[in-house]
Chains A and B, each alone.
Chain A
């Protein structure tokens, strides 16, 4: 009680929270600490109002918590299938949040202003249902693609008059320069995504780097998942743990693992298309390429799984690593050079819209194939197992493959955000539908995983994969496009410029001329952003910090070993002293 009294009142409840005592005792302590003898009760605050305010605050908090989406669904999934399958759905939720952020930034600064001031209209083609699949037709000249956006200051009434003529109307008070807004919104959304991803990676890395898989004690004390409440799942968990423990016993002498001998197959990029993208052709033919790529994408994992069975990998961790390497090989060969090809061949036409349409088609095909995969891989397989083979076994939910599919879809979104600003909205719709479909299929068709799974380490791997190859690759392509690609002459917010980056440079010059007070801004821009030596110094500093941290970690590990030896020695000393004391006491007792 004395300790509690010495703390300020705001900290008291915090300390009470962290004490492992029973509720009654905590209540008594709180009462004792609140009204110490001798101090008069403060007149200004009657004792009931802090209670009332706190009650109101907690009620508000609980309302906010009730508004949390999918809380009950996630609880059901965790209760029946455990943390491993739950990690897939949590990853999906993370992706949804990232897409929402990008979408709102682009919506607020680019899409809505353009929608309010539509450009000189190109007559839109009539809407047929095929547009939802191909992204062309009616959608070509709409807010969905880059080509629709104008390159003028939006609320300037002189914007569309020919250059050189004197404009009699006054300039608007707040000129809204759409090309700049476009460039900066995309930059800001990427920056925000980057910060969030790096923060998540560092947080989950810090948590998972502490564990080591081989420790038996950790397995025994920490693997029981208390969230699981269904009897059948509990029984499965018991069987899992039993198998794990038995396997650990047998393989205490480590056998060398067989090296994966099947090489990763890196296919060449998809064959170059020969027809131009905007022509009077049947739009359905354009679906062929994305169809083929998605088909191969869907079949590759089964091929890899087959090879993995052949290689006899025992833990899912190694399986996932190998699958990732193969996947990365496929991914690099697969989608990336596509739009540079297009950019190379279609000068003079609106190539950005074509690329945007391609990426839209890839996304739609990917979604359709995921649906088909769920249908055939889970539903039909379960029916086959039940009716034909007549076993009680059901298919398992393959977390690694599903997560890699999510990452692929997200990479497509990030690649396409420059060419189709509404692509995050499409991705959001896709993820929402995917959540409900996967959850329904999981509940009806699948059984709990039969192999041990470390949820936190897997989550770290997934988010690291999302950050490093996926996001970094997309950001690298975006930077390359902004810096060097020549925007098309006939459409888009950057028409007529050499590169997209030039619009930023011109703006800085205009700023410098118009307002001499902020020359420091232009100076900062020229000497820091355009100068490469700053980048060099920053990299050197980063490498030095990383090296320092590695040395600190190594030193700490050595100190831990030494301390453990010291504790063992002190234990022996203590046992020895106690024995000595006993013998002395016995001696004395015998003498007396």
Chain B
């Protein structure tokens, strides 16, 4: 497994992490099997863990399990050396909860609920949510079709200098 990992380093933007560290982290989770059936430790407190596992998993059974290549893919997208194009592309896929290729109102509502947490007192009321989603769409929907597509998302995200540093997982 180590040799494969090193061989794939050229197409996987991860020069910061040591291949040994990645392999060690992987064998910590699933010592014998090739697949993870639960989220890795670095994601377990993350409210987006299910979406991340769904986006990066390539298993045929659609049970969101991650093989070693999927894990490597995930780490490479979340590393320092991935370009902001790649990051915004995957961020869009993670935020697209219904997987229809655009961020509609339902997606935005679920996104805001993930961000504000699961507690009752920390959720926004429905009027606040409506107002918030309206404001977001006004700001980011350039062609005024009521949804945010990939280019509009990438345009919004490119204006924030914090995106690249916050869309990062350190191993």
Contacts and interface: CB of A to CB of B under 8 A. Distances in A.
Q: Which of B3, B19, B158, B159 has the most CB of A within 10 A?
A: B159
A220 B111 contact: yes
Interface stretch (A115-123, A240-248, A254-262): A240-248
A216 B132 contact: yes
B166 A222 contact: yes
B90 interface: yes
B143 interface: yes
Interface stretch (A344-352, A509-517, A566-574): A566-574
A136 B41 CA distance: 55
Given A55-B6, A568-B142, A235 B117 contact: yes
5 contacts: A18-B86, A58-B15, A75-B170, A229-B45, A234-B45
A284 interface: no
B36 interface: no
Q: Which of A26, A62, A208, A230 has the most CB of B within 10 A?
A: A62
Q: Which of A221, A238, A564 has the most CB of B within 10 A?
A: A221
* In the A-B complex, the 8 residue pairs with the closest CB atoms: A238-B117, A571-B143, A242-B116, A62-B18, A20-B89, A207-B161, A222-B160, A217-B140
A455 interface: yes
A49 interface: no
Interface in A47-78: 51, 54-55, 58-59, 61-62, 65-66, 75, 78
Interface in A213-239: 215-218, 220-231, 234-235, 238-239
A255 B28 CA distance: 53
B43 to A, nearest CB: 8
Given A17-B11, A24-B69, A65-B18, A245 B116 contact: yes
B117 to A, nearest CB: 3
B24 interface: no
Interface of B: 3, 6-13, 15-20, 41-48, 58, 69-70, 72-73, 78, 83, 85-86, 89-91, 95, 108, 111-112, 115-119, 122-124, 128, 131-132, 135-136, 139-140, 142-145, 153, 156-163, 165-170
B50 to A, nearest CB: 15
B156 A226 contact: no
A83 interface: yes
A51 B166 contact: no
Contacts of B170: 75, 78-79, 227
Given A227-B170, A249-B128, 8 more contacts: A22-B69, A61-B15, A83-B166, A211-B161, A216-B135, A230-B45, A238-B115, A246-B128
Interface string A109-135: 000000000000000000000000000
Contact of A13 (B11, B47, B117, B145): B11
Contacts of B156: 215, 217-218, 221
A282 B83 CA distance: 62
Contacts of A567: 142-143
Given A55-B6, A246-B128, A27 B11 contact: yes
Nearest to B165: A83
A375 to B, nearest CB: 30
A245 B161 CA distance: 20
* Secondary structure dominating the interface of B: helix
Contact of A226 (B19, B118, B123, B169): B169
A544 B38 CA distance: 60
A167 interface: no
A456 interface: yes
Contacts of B43: 229
B166 A24 contact: no
Contacts of A224: 48, 115, 166
A111 to B, nearest CB: 36
Interface of A: 13, 16-20, 22-24, 26-27, 30, 51, 54-55, 58-59, 61-62, 65-66, 75, 78-79, 83, 207-208, 210-212, 215-218, 220-231, 234-235, 238-239, 241-242, 245-246, 249, 252, 454-457, 564, 567-568, 570-572, 574-575
B162 to A, nearest CB: 5
A229 B42 contact: yes
A230 B140 CA distance: 32
A225 B166 CA distance: 4
A484 B124 CA distance: 66
B11 A16 contact: yes
A543 to B, nearest CB: 28
A492 B114 CA distance: 67
Contact of A27 (B8, B86, B124, B158): B8
Contacts of A208: 161
A27 B7 CA distance: 10
Contacts of B122: 238-239, 242
A421 B124 CA distance: 60
Contacts of B42: 229
A230 to B, nearest CB: 7
B18 to A, nearest CB: 4
Q: Which of B6, B46, B83 has the most CB of A within 10 A?
A: B6
Contacts of A221: 91, 95, 153, 156-157, 160, 163
Contact of B169 (A26, A30, A62, A227): A227
A507 B12 CA distance: 57
Given A13-B10, A62-B20, A575-B145, A241 B116 contact: yes
A454 B166 CA distance: 11
Contacts of A252: 135
Nearest to A568: B144
Contacts of A62: 15, 17-20
B144 A571 contact: yes
Nearest to A228: B45
B34 to A, nearest CB: 14
A54 B166 CA distance: 31
A222 B169 contact: no
Contacts of B160: 210-211, 218, 221-222
B162 A222 contact: yes
Nearest to B128: A249
A30 B159 CA distance: 33
Given A58-B19, A78-B170, A241 B115 contact: yes
Contacts of A24: 58, 69
A429 to B, nearest CB: 28
A139 B136 CA distance: 64
Given A55-B7, A58-B19, A234-B46, A564 B142 contact: yes
